[in-house]
Structure 1
Amino acid sequence: MKEYKKYFTLGGSPEDIYNCLTNPVMIEIWTGEPAVMPKEPGGEFSMWDGAICGKIISYEPNKQIEQLWYFGEDETSLVTIKLHPHKKGTSVEVKQQSIPEDAYDNIAEGWDEDYFGALEELFEI
């Protein structure tokens, strides 16, 4: 199993970024796909037509999101997204643990290009 950790800087405030990561209407705007994102921890979420799905572990409004991503029937991966105020907007720390070896390159590329690439376009600095 592998781990992914990276920082991204986005031009929006932590409140704006948090809203884009937790509000299904906003998620649909930056992904172009319908999303399911529960308001309360314990609920299951889905993005990119089910390409990413899992369970919400916890929310700390405008600061942190913890999710459990599903890989197949028995494998899961813990994702932690932390938001920090930054002079240019928000520094986003992403950490994903227990990534299956054969999925790592695809996951890393997805974070860089699809997930934060789309958010960077929305919040250009």
Structure 2
Amino acid sequence: MEFKFKILKQKVIIPADPDEIYNAIIDSKKHSEFTGSKATSEPKVGGKFTAWDGYIFGKHIELEKGKKIVQEWSTTEWPKGYPPSIFELKFKKVQGGTEIEMTHSKVPEEQADDYEKGWEDYYWKLLKEYFKK
């Protein structure tokens, strides 16, 4: 089987400190609050996580509080036989909040456009609203 992948890259500024954003993504209670759907997380390297009522699932590969999150990442719609993707967030303090630099690699080519839009609609937009409060 030949796998076809894409790499997604995005940058966004969220009006909050790096530690606050890191916690919102890693802490299951906070994650559930900002997305409005159930999330679970074992906040340690090798720990498993789920988001969006189990639609997204994987494990934490690298965790550096307020600086970096790297995860092995899949969904319930993942093409059969494809390996998990690698999802990486880097946080940098900037004027007005934190710049998040996202790299989502090994994304199945036929799903890349949906995930590209999904990050904006289901994460960045919701994080911005969450931290406006």
Q: Secondary structure at the match of 2:40?
A: coil
User: How far is 1:115 from its partner?
Assistant: 1.1
1:10, distance to aligned residue in structure 2 (A): 0.5
Residue 98 of structure 1: which of 98, 106, 118 is its match? 106
Answering whether residue 88 of structure 2 is matched by residue 84 of structure 1, we say no
- Determine the structure 1 residue equivalent to 2:29: 25
Superposition pairs of residues 1-125 of structure 1, within 5 angstroms: 1-70=5-74, 71=78, 72=80, 74-124=82-132
Gap runs ≥5 in structure 2: none
Give the number of aligned pairs.
124
Q: Over alpha carbons, which structure has the higher Rg?
A: 2
Does the residue aligned with 1:83 lie in a helix, a strand or coil? strand
Query: Any unmatched runs of 5+ in structure 1?
Result: none
Which amino acid letter does the alignment assign opposite residue 121 of structure 1? E
Q: After the TM superposition, list the runs of 4 or more consecutive aligned residues in structure 1 that deviate by more than 6 angstroms.
A: none
**C-alpha deviation, 1:74, in angstroms:** 3.9
Shift of 1:11: 0.4
Name the SS for the 2:49 alignment partner: strand
The normalised TM-score by structure 1 is 0.94
Q: Percent identity?
A: 31
Distance, in Å, in 1 between the alignment partners of 2:81 and 2:25 is 25
CA contact (8 A) 2:38 2:54 kept: no
Residue 121 of structure 1: how far off its partner (Å): 1.1
Deviation of the 1:73 alpha carbon = 5.1
